[in-house]
Amino acid sequence: MLEEDAEPDGSARQREATVADVARLAKVSKATAARALGGYGSVNEDTRLRVLDAADAVGYLPNALARTMSTGRSHTIGVVLSDIENPFFAKATRAISDVVQSAGFDVVLCNTDENPHNEAAAIDLLLEKRVAGLIVAPADRNANGAVARVTAQGRPLVLFDRTVDDFECDSVIADNRRGAYELARVLLRAGHRRIAFLSTLGQQNYRRGDRIRSTSVADRVDGFEAALDEAGVEIANQIVLLDGERPGIDPLLTHAVHHGATAIIASDSLIAQHVLHGAKNRGLAVPEELSLVAFDDPPWTSLSNPPVTVMAQPIHDIGAEAARLLVRRLDGLKGDVQRIVMSQRLIERDSVAPPRVKFHDLDHQENKPGLPHSCE
């Protein structure tokens, strides 16, 4: 038995047992005890049992930190993402954990809230905790020092959902440009000519050509614009609304509707939810008065009134593939950077209808001053 330290509150709390304690009780050396406990080296079967008995007699619990310090291996990988409440990330995380755990690694998760500062802190934290590798969905494509630090430290890194500019790195993303293109085509085919793209990410006051911080959103906006160009629709008539810092899709919706948008592309399912709510509150019938399409396909999109047309992403696969890639790198796989791009899938439901407005009138107002195509 270990001596017990008397606690201030009178309870007796045991000092944590160490290999040394176990060794003493089992009457062997620290080294032998450690071998028996750690299951390495070779140790006589009898002594092994004796050590194990001693171990749970003193309530021995290995110290993973000490172990990592001496071996240099942590068996832990870090995952950093922006919003665990977003079903996209929840699902991807799930996939990552499954893969990574079955490969014998533990996972530590950090939430950044789309804030580059938090992200840097999270990455450094994980690096300081000496995780074996990292999987991150970077909040900012630009000069992302924290992300670069990971590889600079020589640790494997896989980016998912988003990438970072001028940075060679394994990554697994979805074909967002194509997805947005298709979504825009659906709307265009239905006759819409004034479409708003809504996202909570990126900067406010977007002008065509601006670099949007999140590459997944940037790719979508790109595909969106490409479809419009191709259809010969004036981009100036379109409305790309990015929320930047502010919370709340609702003001964006107000803005969009106020400027004549007849259809919305929601950049994720959370935004689609807000749009549907907003439309309901405003007494705007979907799709009769406002059409809606969105990225991601959580179960509710087929249950809502109306069911919504979506671009489904292979979320599970994105996470799983990112994890598999990291595990392979951890196993020592060398070789070229891998950039995996997964395709998305259109699911048409009932949230799109032709616009009620005729656009001939509006088209003549194109140059009317004061018609913004971005939100302040």
Partner DNA sequence: TTGAAAGCGCTAACAC
Partner DNA sequence: GTGTTAGCGCTTTCAA
- Residue 41 binds: one of DNA, a copy of itself, none (C-beta under 5 to 8 A by kind): DNA
Task: Answer for the pair 112, 82: CB distance below 8 angstroms, yes or no.
Answer: yes
- Residue 133 binds: one of a copy of itself, DNA, none (C-beta under 5 to 8 A by kind): none
Q: Which residue from 28, 195, 221, 252 is in contact with DNA, where contact means CB under 7 A?
A: 28
> Which tokens hold the place of 287?
């799709």
- Residue 70 binds: one of DNA, a copy of itself, none (C-beta under 5 to 8 A by kind): DNA
Residue in the block written with tokens 């890639």? 325
Q: Which residue from 30, 115, 124, 210 is in contact with a copy of itself, where contact means CB under 8 A?
A: 124
Question: Distance between CA 128 and CA 214 in Å, rounded?
Answer: 26
Task: Answer for the pair 140, 119: CB distance below 8 angstroms, yes or no.
Answer: yes
Q: Which of 76, 143, 153, 86 is nearest to 116 (CA)?
A: 143
> Which tokens hold the place of 237?
């008539």
Scanning 2-10, 66-74, 212-220, 356-364 for contacts with DNA by CB under 7 A, the matching segment is 66-74
Q: Which of 91, 168, 154, 94 is nearest to 330 (CA)?
A: 154
Question: Distance between CA 50 and CA 27 in Å, rounded?
Answer: 9
- Residue 18 binds: one of a copy of itself, DNA, none (C-beta under 5 to 8 A by kind): DNA
Question: Distance between CA 169 and CA 155 in Å, rounded?
Answer: 11
> Which tokens hold the place of 121?
């802190």
Residues that contact a copy of itself, how many (by CB under 8 A): 53
Please identify, using beta-carbon distances, which residue of 125 and 362 lies nearer to a copy of itself. Answer: 125
Question: Distance between CA 155 and CA 200 in Å, rounded?
Answer: 31
Please identify, using beta-carbon distances, which residue of 107 and 330 lies nearer to a copy of itself. Answer: 107
Please list every residue from 51 through 90 that binds a copy of itself, using CB under 8 A: 59, 61-66, 68-69, 74, 84-85, 87, 90
Q: Which residue from 19, 198, 201, 275 is in contact with DNA, where contact means CB under 7 A?
A: 19
Task: Answer for the pair 324, 99: CB distance below 8 angstroms, yes or no.
Answer: yes
Q: Which of 363, 311, 308 is nearest to 193 (CA)?
A: 363
Question: Distance between CA 245 and CA 264 in Å, rounded?
Answer: 21
Asked if 69 is part of the footprint of DNA (rule: CB under 7 A), the reply reads yes
Please list every residue from 275 through 294 that binds a copy of itself, using CB under 8 A: 276-277, 280
Least distance between DNA and beta carbon 64 (Å): 8
Residues that contact DNA, how many (by CB under 7 A): 29
Least distance between a copy of itself and beta carbon 222 (Å): 29
Question: Distance between CA 120 and CA 114 in Å, rounded?
Answer: 11
Scanning 41-49, 123-131, 162-170, 339-347 for contacts with a copy of itself by CB under 8 A, the matching segment is 123-131
Q: Which residue from 30, 91, 178, 282 is in contact with a copy of itself, where contact means CB under 8 A?
A: 91
Q: Which of 317, 293, 320, 318 is nearest to 307 (CA)?
A: 293
Question: Distance between CA 55 and CA 254 in Å, rounded?
Answer: 66
Task: Answer for the pair 266, 275: CB distance below 8 angstroms, yes or no.
Answer: yes
Binding mask 5-24 for a copy of itself (x = CB under 8 A): ---xx---xx-x--------
Q: Which of 202, 212, 182, 287 is nearest to 245 (CA)?
A: 202
Q: Which residue from 128, 166, 245, 331 is in contact with a copy of itself, where contact means CB under 8 A?
A: 128
Please identify, using beta-carbon distances, which residue of 107 and 310 lies nearer to a copy of itself. Answer: 107
Least distance between DNA and beta carbon 274 (Å): 45
Residue numbers of the site for a copy of itself (CB under 8 A)?
8-9, 13-14, 16, 59, 61-66, 68-69, 74, 84-85, 87, 90-91, 93-94, 97, 106-111, 124-125, 127-130, 149, 152-154, 273-274, 276-277, 280, 298-300, 302-306, 334
